[in-house]
Structure 1
Amino acid sequence: MIKISPSILSADFANLERDIRKISTADYVHVDVMDGVFVPNISIGLPVVKAIRPVTQQPLDVHLMIVEPGRYAGRFCDAGADIVTMHVEADTEENLLAAIEVIHAKGKRAGVVLKPATPASAVLPYLERVELILVMTVEPGFGGQSFMAGQLDKIRAIRALIEERNPACELEVDGGIGPDTCRACVDAGANVLVAGSAVYGAEDIPARIQLLRG
C-alpha cells in the first residue's frame, strides 16, 4: 500500500493542532526540521515536536535538515518522533551510523536522506541498517518547489538496492509531489509520498490524500 506523509510545513502554524487533525486519514505526519545552516531556512524544532505529539496517534516522520544530526537524533525521539531521517551529506558516515544506533536504542525507526545531487550509491553504508530511505525531488529547504523528474532514475536504482539487500525498508519521496507527479514516483518504486502544498492546498484534504495514495 502507498503511504502518504503530509508535510506540516504547509500547514497554518497558528492552527497547527487543527491542521494536523485535518490529515487524520494520512499514514504519517511529516515534520521538516531546518537549522538555517544545512539548508537556507529555519523551521520548527524540539518544542514543536513535543507539543504536537499528543495531538495525533499517527507516526511523526521527522526529517532533520540540520548539520551533525546525531547531536539531536535521540532528543527528537524523546520528544515524540517515530521516524527520524538524517541527510547523508550532513555528517560523516561514522557519526551517522552511530546516530542510527541511538535512534534504534530509543525504539524508533531511522532513515537517511539524499539531496538531488547525491548519487544513489550514497545509501550503501546505511542500507541494511535503516527502515526508510528518503529521496529529495527538490532542493531541501523550502516548500512549494517544482518536482525534479531527473530523480526518478535514482528512485529506481535505490528500489533495486532495497529489494536486493533490505526488502522491508521503505522508500520515501519528498518534493513537488502532487496528483501529476505521484504516479511516476510510485511506478519508479516509492511507497511513501511526502506532500505539503498539494495536500493542504486542496479543498477536500481526505480526498486529496486518497487520490495521492492511488
Structure 2
Amino acid sequence: MMVSQPEKWVDDIADAGGSLYCFHLEATSDPLPIIDHIHERKMKAGVAISPDTPSTAVTDEIAEAADMLLVMTVYPGRGGQKFLERCVPKVAELRARFPDKDIEVDGGVGPKTIDVCADAGSNVIVAGTAIFNAEEPEKVIALLKSTVDVAQAKIAAKRA
C-alpha cells in the first residue's frame, strides 16, 4: 500500500481475501502495531522501503516481525519507470542481515535487470511492464523465475 495511514486499509484488504499486506515504512511512524494487526487478520506482513530510504531504516525488530522486506527500485506510483540500480546494494545488505527473510524487488525489473536483483539476494520479484509489454510474456516469466532460482541455489550453497 503506497498510501498514508496504511493501518486504515488492513481490514479492507483482509475482508477482500488478501493474503499479504505490504506497506511503506515511510508512511508510518510506528510500523510494529500495523504488522501485528496484519498478522491478527491472518495475512503475511511486508514492509517496503522507497529508493531514498536506507536499508538501515529496517531495524532488526521490524524485520523480525515482518514476513517480507521490499526494496523499491523505482519511485512508488507509476509503472514503466527506469530501474534504479543504486537501490540494489540495499537488497544485498538486507539479505546479509536477514538470510532467511523473503526479500522482494519492485520496479523496472525485467530481463535486463533480473540478474543484478537475483544475485543481490532478492527471492521475490515484481515485474509489470516487462511482462505486460512482452510479445511472449510466458517466456519472460520463465526467465525471471529461473534466474531467481539459480541465484538462490548459489546463495544457499554459500551458506551451507
Q: Same fold (TM over 0.5)?
A: yes
Residue 120 of structure 1 corresponds to 55
**TM-score (norm. length: structure 2):** 0.88
Q: How does 1:115-194 map to 2 (within 5 A)?
A: 115-124=50-59, 125-163=61-99, 167=100, 169-194=101-126
Q: Which has the higher strand share?
A: 1
Residue 213 of structure 1 corresponds to 145
Aligned with 1:126: secondary structure? helix
Aligned with 1:65: secondary structure? coil
Residue 198 of structure 1 corresponds to 130
Q: Number of aligned residue pairs: give it.
A: 145
* Aligned: 1:82 with 2:19: yes
1:71-123 Cα offsets, whole Å, 9 max, x none, are 11122111121111010100112xx2111111111111001000001010111
1:136-158 Cα offsets, whole Å, 9 max, x none, are 00111110000111111111101
What one-letter code is carried by the residue in structure 1 that aligns with 2:85?
A: A
1:1-23 Cα offsets, whole Å, 9 max, x none, are xxxxxxxxxxxxxxxxxxxxxxx
What one-letter code is carried by the residue in structure 2 that aligns with 1:123?
A: V
Task: Determine which of 97, 103, 116 is the counterpart of 2:32.
Answer: 97
What one-letter code is carried by the residue in structure 2 that aligns with 1:106?
A: R
Q: Which has the higher helix share?
A: 2
What one-letter code is carried by the residue in structure 1 that aligns with 2:34?
A: A
Consecutive unaligned residues in structure 2, runs of 5 or more: 147-160
Residue 109 of structure 1 corresponds to 44
Regions of 4+ moved over 6 Å: none
Q: Distance in 2 between matches of 1:132 and 1:140?
A: 18
What one-letter code is carried by the residue in structure 1 that aligns with 2:106?
A: D
**TM-score (norm. length: structure 1):** 0.66
Aligned with 1:102: secondary structure? helix
With CA pairs under 8 Å and 6+ residues apart, which has the higher RCO, 1 or 2? 1
Shift of 1:159: 0.6
Consecutive unaligned residues in structure 1, runs of 5 or more: 1-63
